[in-house]
Chains A and B, each alone.
Chain A
Amino acid sequence: MIATESLSKRFPRVTALDRLSVDITPGVTGLVGANGAGKSTLIKILLGLSPATEGRASVLGLDVATEGAAIRERVGYMPEHDCLPPDVSATEFVVHMARMSGLPATAARERTADTLRHVGLYEERYRPMGGYSTGMKQRVKLAQALVHDPRLVLLDEPTNGLDPVGRDEMLGLIRRVHTDFGISVLVTSHLLGELERTCDHVVVIDGGKLLRSSSTDDFTQSTGSLAVEVTDSDARPDGTAALLAALAGAGLTVRPAGRTADGAPVSGRVLLVDVLDESTYDTVRDAVTDLGLGLVRMEQRRHRIAEVFRDEDPAATAPAGPADPAGGGWGAGHQWAAAAQRDEQNGGAPDAA
Chain B
Amino acid sequence: MPPETTAPAQDVIHNIGYRNYSGARLGRAYARRSLFSQSLRGAYGLGRSAKSKVLPMILLGVMCVPAAIMVAVAVTTKMNDLPVAYTRYAILLQAVIGLYLASQAPQSVSRDLRFKTVPLYFSRPIERVDYVAAKFAAMASALFLLTAVPLLILYVGALLAKLDFADQTKGFAQGLVSVALLSLLFAGLGLVVAALTPRRGFGVAAVIAVLTISYGAVSTVQGIALARDNTDAISWLGLFSPITLIDGVQTAFLSATSAFPGGHGPGTGTGVVYVLVLLAVIAGSFGLLMRRYRKAGL
List A residues at the B interface (Cβ < 8 Å).
44, 47, 49-50, 69-70, 72-73, 75, 77, 79, 81-88, 92, 96-97, 99-104, 107, 111, 114, 117-118, 120, 122, 128, 144, 148-149, 164, 168-169, 171-173, 175-176, 180-182, 197-198, 302, 344-345, 347
A77-B30 contact, Cβ under 8 Å, with A103-B23, A120-B10, A149-B20: no
Q: B67: shortest Cβ distance to chain A, in Å?
A: 32
In contact, A102 and B25 (Cβ under 8 angstroms): yes
Contact of A73 among B25, B47, B121 (CB under 8 A): B25
Q: B199: shortest Cβ distance to chain A, in Å?
A: 15
Chain A contacts for B21, CB-based, 8 A: 103, 107, 111, 148-149
**12 A-B pairs whose Cβ atoms sit less than 8 Å apart in the complex:** A73-B25, A77-B119, A77-B120, A86-B115, A87-B49, A88-B47, A102-B27, A103-B23, A104-B23, A117-B16, A144-B120, A181-B18
In contact, A104 and B24 (Cβ under 8 angstroms): yes
Q: B298: shortest Cβ distance to chain A, in Å?
A: 5
In contact, B123 and A49 (Cβ under 8 angstroms): yes
In contact, A120 and B298 (Cβ under 8 angstroms): no
- Closest-by-CB residue of A relative to B112 is A85
A100-B35 contact, Cβ under 8 Å, with A47-B123, A50-B298, A148-B25: yes
Q: Does B52 contact A (CB under 8 A)?
A: yes
Chain A contacts for B24, CB-based, 8 A: 102-104, 107
Q: B112: shortest Cβ distance to chain A, in Å?
A: 8
Chain B 254-274 interface mask (CB, 8 Å, partner A; 1/0): 000000000000000000000
Q: Does B7 contact A (CB under 8 A)?
A: yes
In contact, B7 and A169 (Cβ under 8 angstroms): yes
Q: How far is the CA of A92 from the CA of B48 in the complex (A)?
A: 9
Chain B contacts for A111, CB-based, 8 A: 21
In contact, B297 and A49 (Cβ under 8 angstroms): yes
Q: Does B201 contact A (CB under 8 A)?
A: no
Chain A contacts for B11, CB-based, 8 A: 120
Chain A contacts for B5, CB-based, 8 A: 168-169, 171-172, 175, 197-198
CB within 8 Å of A: which of B1-24?
Answer: 1-3, 5-8, 10-11, 14-21, 23-24
In contact, A118 and B15 (Cβ under 8 angstroms): yes
CB within 8 Å of A: which of B81-110?
Answer: none
Chain A contacts for B124, CB-based, 8 A: 72-73, 97, 100-102
In contact, A100 and B121 (Cβ under 8 angstroms): yes
Q: How many residues of B contact A (CB 8 A)?
A: 48
Q: B80: shortest Cβ distance to chain A, in Å?
A: 50
Q: Does B153 contact A (CB under 8 A)?
A: no
Contact of B18 among A49, A118, A345 (CB under 8 A): A118
A72-B123 contact, Cβ under 8 Å, with A102-B31, A149-B21, A181-B18: yes
Chain B contacts for A345, CB-based, 8 A: 1
Q: A294: shortest Cβ distance to chain B, in Å?
A: 29
Q: Does B287 contact A (CB under 8 A)?
A: no
A103-B25 contact, Cβ under 8 Å, with A128-B49, A181-B18: yes
In contact, B48 and A87 (Cβ under 8 angstroms): yes
Q: Does B111 contact A (CB under 8 A)?
A: yes
A73-B27 contact, Cβ under 8 Å, with A49-B122, A83-B115: yes
In contact, A172 and B7 (Cβ under 8 angstroms): yes
Q: Does B127 contact A (CB under 8 A)?
A: yes
Q: B293: shortest Cβ distance to chain A, in Å?
A: 12
Q: Does B34 contact A (CB under 8 A)?
A: yes
A102-B1 contact, Cβ under 8 Å, with A82-B115, A85-B117: no
In contact, A182 and B125 (Cβ under 8 angstroms): no
- Closest-by-CB residue of A relative to B107 is A87
In contact, A164 and B48 (Cβ under 8 angstroms): no
Contact of B125 among A72, A87, A168, A173 (CB under 8 A): A72
Chain B contacts for A100, CB-based, 8 A: 31, 34-35, 120-121, 124, 126
Chain B 34-48 interface mask (CB, 8 Å, partner A; 1/0): 110010000000011
Q: Which of A70, A102, A171 has the most CB of B within 10 A?
A: A102
A79-B26 contact, Cβ under 8 Å, with A118-B18, A172-B7, A345-B1: no
- Closest-by-CB residue of A relative to B20 is A149
A81-B116 contact, Cβ under 8 Å, with A88-B48, A100-B31, A102-B27: yes
Q: How far is the CA of A50 from the CA of B25 in the complex (A)?
A: 24
Chain A contacts for B15, CB-based, 8 A: 118, 180
Q: A180: shortest Cβ distance to chain B, in Å?
A: 5
In contact, B298 and A101 (Cβ under 8 angstroms): no
Q: A84: shortest Cβ distance to chain B, in Å?
A: 6
Q: A142: shortest Cβ distance to chain B, in Å?
A: 12
Q: How far is the CA of A85 from the CA of B30 in the complex (A)?
A: 23
In contact, B26 and A164 (Cβ under 8 angstroms): no
Q: How far is the CA of A85 from the CA of B112 in the complex (A)?
A: 7
In contact, B120 and A79 (Cβ under 8 angstroms): yes
